[in-house]
Amino acid sequence: MMKSVLGAGLLALAAAVGAQPTGAFPAKPVVPGTGAGVHSPDSPIPPLPERSDALPWSLLTAVKHRTENKRVLPLFSPEQLALDGKPQRLQGFMMPLQPGEKVRHFLLSSVPLTCSFCVPGGPESMVEVRTRTPVAYTPEPVLVEGRFHVLRDDPMGLFYRMTDAAPVR
């Protein structure tokens, strides 16, 4: 039992950071820059409203990519690169990467989760967040502020990270 729970957890974590799972279920690859993770007009879930005080997801999801040695690498625009190392605010949906009611490490997604084991989009539609203090999980959109990082060759396949973050009330 413990092995299957651990395996399911590792599969979810790998999927959350863009790794392709193996096993009985065929994986549909998510290609960065194809609009994955952007709200579909056919979705029953309302779109995340853009805020004038937060970084727009449309800027982050517009990243191009190239394939090198069987890896997908981002090709950032000058506007995306200008965000690197600067304080930013970003609104999105939490995808915890650790157990507990309060977490310090999670992914922020442009669209809500519909399943615990499903990735809502590609790496362009997620930002890894590390907070100063634990944040209570909520399925509602959250606004966080922290130092934004543009990742050119992250070993986990992520394109963006926010560190020293805190929720904005």
Q: What is the pLDDT of residues 62-110, one digit of tens each?
A: 999 999 888 889 999 999 999 999 999 999 999 999 999 999 999 999 8
Q: Give residue for tokens 């959250």.
A: 142
pTM for this entry: 0.74
The whole-angstrom separation of Cα 89 and Cα 80 is: 14
Q: What is the pLDDT of residues 98-141, one digit of tens each?
A: 999 999 999 999 888 777 677 777 899 999 999 999 999 998 99
pLDDT band at 21 (very low <50, low <70, confident <90, very high): very low
Domain coordinates in residue numbering, the chain: 2-20+28-167
pLDDT of amino acid 158? 93
State the CATH architecture for 2-20+28-167.
Beta Barrel (2.40)
* Contacts made by residues 18-27, CB under 8 angstroms, sequence distance 24+: 18/119, 18/122, 18/123, 18/126, 18/156, 18/157, 18/158, 19/156, 19/157
Q: What is the pLDDT of residues 2-11, one digit of tens each?
A: 333 333 333 3
